[in-house]
Structure 1
Amino acid sequence: MRFVAGLDGGGTKTAVTIADDQGRVVHSFTSGGMNYNGQDEDSVRQNLQEIVDTIASVCGGLDYCVQICIGAAGVSNPTVTSRLEATIRACGYHGDLLILGDQETALSGAHGRPYGIILIAGTGSICYGKNESGDVHRSGGYGHLIDDEGSGYSIGRDLISAVVRANDGRAPETVITEMVYRQLNMTKVAEMIGFVYDARTHKKDIAALAPILSEACLLGDQAALGIAHRSAASLFELVIPVAEKLSLQEGVLAMAGSVLLKNHFVKTALVDMLQEKYPKLQCITPKQDASIGAVLMALERLNRAI
């Protein structure tokens, strides 16, 4: 029996699905992230080794896994693909390997077909589309240092910013302050700033604060509601160029990632903006996740090779 594996490698975690060559899923699991743009080399290597070892165990040996497709965050950085491949090979896998942007595998899984639009707002944010003519376009996804507005990282950063602004008196007091302190187990701004600028703090640690936004919005906190609206507006900006350039204003948009799947306030505001501009654009929840999308692409590649 031959197997394929699909990896959805994000900044916070990696979802892995293993299927046989007939497309039947035999095992799914999660491991740590694999984004070189936001993680150190050693942690990525450790996570990939764990993934490869688990694939070997499930398949009865790595030789039986004939295709691995990785949809990875951070491949806009031209060095990431070669580093990922080198690490996978060093972990012992020598079969066929396909490395793509995670937006491509997410699109495949979300629609169950290779065309449509996918908007992802997880640790980072990106919009990607492909029309039936095969034309593609993307917007966003250039990393937390210069982009990723509307993402979990962006929201976490904005929550921290709300705390310091309120502390200074630049903005009214907000319930966000107590919530952030509680989650970080801190009591003052100086401690929080130490956490933010500590070299051991990664973007996923900032993004982990994002769920606070929903709780604060439910309480009617104005600072939180403002963050939610700005996040929705940033995500809306990502969709426009993709829909316009690919003539998919009347197509289907899948909304993925923890921000859009778990934050009602951001999602509702975004959908309202989209419906006002594109009344015939259909917004859906992804049919399947990006690791399944990677499996579908691995199977397609395997079948083409036969």
Structure 2
Amino acid sequence: MTYYLGIDGGGTKTYALLTDDCGNVLGKGVGGNGNHQIDHALAAQSIRKAAEGALNEAGLRIHEISHTFFGLAGADREADYRILHPLVQDIGFTRNYSIDCDTMIGLRAGTNRPYGVALICGTGTNAAGRNPAGQHVQVGGFNYMYGDFGGGGSLNIEVFRSVIRSWDGREQTTLLTPLLLNFLGYDSVRDMFDDFQDHGKHVPVHAAKLLFEAAAEDDAVALEILNRQGVELGKSASAVIHKLGMEEDRFDVVLAGSLLTRGDRGWIRNMVEQTVAAVAPNAAIVTLATEPVVGALWSAMDADGHAVSQDVYDKMRVFRNFEHIKHQQDKRL
């Protein structure tokens, strides 16, 4: 029997999935932040924890895995790979492994074509693609200073500052105000403002989810922020498409990341569709319906020269079992 391991390391969580060559799930593992750019030591710990969880559940050791594929947030430049190769080798993966950015495993999980474009909007944002000739391009994936906008790690700030601006008269009234006060446990914006100022507090990443709650009630401030997120993601996709010369091709633009796959009701997606349609009318927008780690698993099979059969595609596309594991772990903490 041949075994494969896929690992998806994001800014808040890391997933590992281990199967045999028929796509039968044998082991799963979960860790925290897997982005070395955020915290190198924590990323190493999270990747190790997720990998060991999957291996232990399957009753296997690293040397028994035919190929392991790491799709990691923060795997953006050559300088990152000089850090990441020693990191995974220290865990014990010294042979038969590959590393790529997490955007590409999202693409692999979302389309049967060997090319296309992927947009990630989770803790951060990223855009990358591969054309029919096999050329690869990445746009963004760093932070606001380097041209990005949004993701949970920035939209949480948009929520907070919108509430402050509404409170001090620079912005219209918004439903984000009572939602944020309840979320953070304050009686008034003044109390929140003073406490954050006096104690140097940071806004939790998960405050970004309040945008969806407010948007569902047609809150103009929340809708404007989410629409801007869609426009910015569309611009990133358009840049990838232009760089790869894919304007006339038929391909999928795969939307991945929790803000796109779990919270959005079209507020972001609709703007992505409009922006992409203007530059690539034959492109189809597809929301990822399975865990991106499945794309890492299929990429491991690809790298090992093992063709992914239609049966394996059909069997694994419905796999969404990690939130249950994470919820059970959170209850034990």
**TM tier relative to shorter chain:** 0.7 to 0.9
Does 2:203 match 1:224? no
Alignment partner of 1:244 out of 236, 242, 257 = 242
TM-aligned CA deviation for residue 191 of structure 1:
2.4
Q: Give distance in 2, aligned partners of 1:186 and 1:192.
A: 11
Q: Give distance in 1, aligned partners of 2:214 and 2:289.
A: 30
Structure 1 residues 98 and 231 mapped into 2: Cα distance closer, same or farther (>3 Å)?
A: same
Q: How many aligned residue pairs are there?
A: 297
Q: Give distance in 2, aligned partners of 1:23 and 1:218.
A: 38
Number of the residue aligned with 1:303: 305
What is the one-letter code of the residue matched to 1:214? F
Matched residues, percent identical?
25
TM-aligned CA deviation for residue 18 of structure 1:
0.8
Structure 2, unpaired ranges of 5+:
307-333
Deviates more, 1:266-275 or 1:250-259: 266-275
TM-aligned CA deviation for residue 50 of structure 1:
1.3
Deviates more, 1:155-164 or 1:264-273: 264-273
Contact 1:120 1:255 in 2 (8 A): yes
Deviations 1:108-153 (A, max 9, x none): 1111332111111111112211111112222111235534313222
Q: With a CA cutoff of 8 Å and minimum separation of 6, indicate the structure with the bigger relative contact order.
A: 1
1:171-250 matches, within 5 Å, as 171-187=171-187, 188-193=192-197, 197-198=200-201, 206-249=204-247, 250=249
Q: Give distance in 2, aligned partners of 1:48 and 1:81.
A: 15
Q: Give distance in 2, aligned partners of 1:221 and 1:192.
A: 25
Number of the residue aligned with 1:290: 292
Number of the residue aligned with 1:112: 112
> What TM-score, normalized by structure 1, do the two folds share?
0.86
Contact 2:18 2:297 in 1 (8 A): yes
TM-aligned CA deviation for residue 10 of structure 1:
0.6
Q: Give distance in 2, aligned partners of 1:96 and 1:301.
A: 9
TM-aligned CA deviation for residue 79 of structure 1:
4.1
Structure 1, unpaired ranges of 5+:
none
TM-aligned CA deviation for residue 77 of structure 1:
5.0
Contact 2:107 2:117 in 1 (8 A): yes
Q: Give distance in 2, aligned partners of 1:287 and 1:218.
A: 22
Number of the residue aligned with 1:73: 73
Please give the root-mean-square deviation of Cα atoms over the aligned residues, in Å: 2.4
Does 2:146 match 1:154? no
Deviations 1:157-208 (A, max 9, x none): 211110221222211232212211221223421224467x44xx5xxx6431
Number of the residue aligned with 2:270: 268
> What TM-score, normalized by structure 2, do the two folds share?
0.80
1:129-140 matches, within 5 Å, as 129-140=129-140
What is the one-letter code of the residue matched to 1:190? D
Structure 1 residues 284 and 173 mapped into 2: Cα distance closer, same or farther (>3 Å)?
A: same
Q: Give distance in 1, aligned partners of 2:104 and 2:213.
A: 32
Contact 1:23 1:299 in 2 (8 A): no
Does 2:4 match 1:4? yes
Q: Give distance in 1, aligned partners of 2:185 and 2:33.
A: 24
Give the ranges of 4+ consecutive aligned residues of structure 1 lying more than 6 Å apart after TM superposition. Answer: none
Number of the residue aligned with 2:331: none
Q: Give distance in 2, aligned partners of 1:171 and 1:43.
A: 38
TM-aligned CA deviation for residue 294 of structure 1:
1.4
Contact 1:66 1:95 in 2 (8 A): no
